Structure 1
Amino acid sequence: MQPQRRSYSKSFKAQVVQECAQPGASIASVAQHHSLNANLVHKWIRVQTNKAMALQPAFIPLSLQLAGRHSQAPSSSICVEIQHPRGTVKVNWPTESAAACATFLRDLLR
């Protein structure tokens, strides 16, 4: 017969993660204090971080760089360059499909 896995409440997990976030705190020492495996605490921190990232607002501030400020003709395409943790994303999209571009970028950056 295998021993049953222990389960922990959300409030307990949040408390342990909060203790790890304190200045000078070590994840290993916090885990040991609560008789937990440090890998489990690392997992709780990752899960909480991922949830926090998923709850961030969808608005992403962008800096605009206007090429050819003195040109008279309006641009016929949307050009966006986004720095992302997984790499730089460059998008060139026709201006007549601006709504589709917005949908694409929103889905890409989720």
Structure 2
Amino acid sequence: MDRAVPGRRRRIHSDEFKEQAVQASQQPGVSMAAVAMAHGINANLLRRWVRERAQQRGDAVAANDKPVGFIALPMQVPSVPPAPSGEPIRIEVRRGATIIAVTWPAGAADACAAWMRELLR
């Protein structure tokens, strides 16, 4: 924020000021927005300066965007519990004077649930 040209609203910042702001934004754990506010500039302007400096240096990525490697972790495949073949599902529905009793195979519990949803609509 070195000087303003008369008749213009844009500020002209020195290369030293830009470099200082860019260097401050590249420190680990530092927010670019916080650095921009501390220097009295817009965060988007600081991001542009960082991008321009990276392009000038020929960096493929910005200095704080370090490539992350892939780490393969072993995973255990959860075992599927065996289908219950024991007791059947028994349902008794009462609506007024009407009583419906249904016995459904336990292995077809999904179909039983779908049937119940339709019945209770």
TM-score in terms of structure 1 length: 0.46
More helix per residue: 1 or 2? 1
Identify which of structures 1 and 2 has the higher relative contact order when contacts are C-alpha pairs closer than 8 Å and 6+ apart: 1
Please say which structure displays the higher CA radius of gyration: 2
TM-score in terms of structure 2 length: 0.42
